[in-house]
Structure 1
């Protein structure tokens, strides 16, 4: 099936965009927040430094995340302090770079992400479970597409796009085991997901090429890689996808808890640029 890539083209000015992740240190209200050692001033300083580094290394977009806020709350239980901190961080990063910025609030905090995105002028949010449901260490997580679509309408924020995981990592989908991954992708697309994200089973693990190809062949919206893309597998996986979100691989020793490694980012983006040229010439 031919995919309509207009949503990605509205946000990015390049084919197969690579989105780097700004993994904010623990935010106010989370168990690991340390106001004395890593208060908001230090959190914002690190976020801006990493954003500028990745932009200078050629990354095409940035996604702000509260990944250090585990164990995660869900949905309406996520506090206003998290939304406020995400909005401030997103605004600071957006002011520091020229590339587009998005937001992701764990765990499936779509309304928190959308509120922060609207306040800070972000271009998209990532939604882990748009439709259907799955079970993980955080319990049952249900689809939030219906309420998010209405919330976006309420806020008049149609310019903020929904990038949605299908068969999301870190969980079991046995409760919808009669639905194939391709059927789940159709579920998300038919219910308004504007970009689909395909991942491996956990952070840093890539989906296999057949899974990516199957997604791309059966839906009409863009498909991007959401985990595990590396310099070694980029050629194989980007052939079937329209871009990627990269987190762990851009960090020192391929560990998401470490600082950004500029050399890894530069080397990776040079490989992607070569792939883009080959695709254009071919």
Structure 2
């Protein structure tokens, strides 16, 4: 499996979030690109020293999000991703560009030598706080083929957080998972209803019974509840690793070390 060749194990991989500070052109931008890149590299160093299994770089501070991401965001994310990759040439690293800028994320990943992207709106349209997100699997995978990026894996959110799923209320989580697998997703991401909110362990089990591709947990994993998610292929952790457990704060080295110490014991 591609996932196994990338991470070296099929279960319990810990993927830390690098939440890039607000980029040029976005409402909350206050820093220069040099300062933004330096901060991303500082957080990367903390994660790497703690023995993290992988990273995702994301422009989460670019509030409020738009589905019309400008070229300045792509250029800035490429600069940050390239710097992080140079720091960790062997670590599995991915990128997500909000909101639902999945083709742009593929282009950034290819340019900066990353391994995967996190994609929103892969199958089934839904209403997010940014607006209506339409399914993109067909166009996204064709774009990946066209730019020669088939080695870059695409992990896809199903029943995405911060969204209403009334349009697809008659489509269960397992049916959504099967559709994403059928449309050639490299891995599925199950989340809670919002950033930092715990994903339902039953949904992990339900999805695992429905598909054969890797399943990742996309929100709400903590030092206290991690045992509920050990069967997941990966756990994407952002909020818990921040000071006070709040996503917008800086990464807390002690929280990362403590969590990874527990994981090393659990995986023995």
TM-score, shorter chain, exceeding 0.5: yes
**Counterpart among 9, 13, 18 of residue 8 in structure 2:** 13
Equivalent in the alignment of 1:138: 130
Structure 2 residue ranges without an equivalent (≥5): none
How high is the TM-score relative to the length of structure 1? 0.92
Equivalent in the alignment of 1:280: none
**Counterpart among 63, 68, 71 of residue 80 in structure 1:** 71
**Counterpart among 223, 226, 229 of residue 231 in structure 1:** 223
- Give the Å deviation of 1:16: 2.2
Q: Contact 1:206 / 1:227 at 8 angstroms: preserved in 2?
A: yes
Q: Contact 1:249 / 1:255 at 8 angstroms: preserved in 2?
A: yes
Which ranges of 4 or more aligned residues in structure 1 deviate by more than 6 Å? none
User: 2:87 & 2:152 partners in 1: Cα distance?
Assistant: 20
Equivalent in the alignment of 1:173: 165
- Give the Å deviation of 1:167: 0.4
**Counterpart among 7, 10, 28 of residue 32 in structure 1:** 28
- Give the Å deviation of 1:100: 1.8
Deviations 1:196-234 (A, max 9, x none): 000000000111111111011110100011000011111
SS in 2 for 1:162: strand
User: 1:257 & 1:242 partners in 2: Cα distance?
Assistant: 26
User: 1:161 & 1:52 partners in 2: Cα distance?
Assistant: 24
SS in 2 for 1:135: strand
Deviations 1:31-89 (A, max 9, x none): 1112xxx1100000000010011110111111110001111111xx2111111111110
Matches within 5 A, 1:178-217: 178-217=170-209
SS in 2 for 1:69: coil
How high is the TM-score relative to the length of structure 2? 0.97
Q: Contact 2:13 / 2:54 at 8 angstroms: preserved in 1?
A: yes
User: 1:133 & 1:269 partners in 2: Cα distance?
Assistant: 36
- Give the Å deviation of 1:30: 1.1
Give RMSD over aligned pairs.
Answer: 1.0
Equivalent in the alignment of 1:119: 111
SS in 1 for 2:15: strand
Equivalent in the alignment of 2:234: 243
SS in 2 for 1:259: coil
Deviations 1:109-160 (A, max 9, x none): 1011011000000000000110101112211111111111011000111110
- Give the Å deviation of 1:13: 2.3
User: 2:35 & 2:48 partners in 1: Cα distance?
Assistant: 20
User: 2:156 & 2:203 partners in 1: Cα distance?
Assistant: 16
Structure 1 residue ranges without an equivalent (≥5): 1-5, 278-282
Q: Contact 2:181 / 2:211 at 8 angstroms: preserved in 1?
A: yes
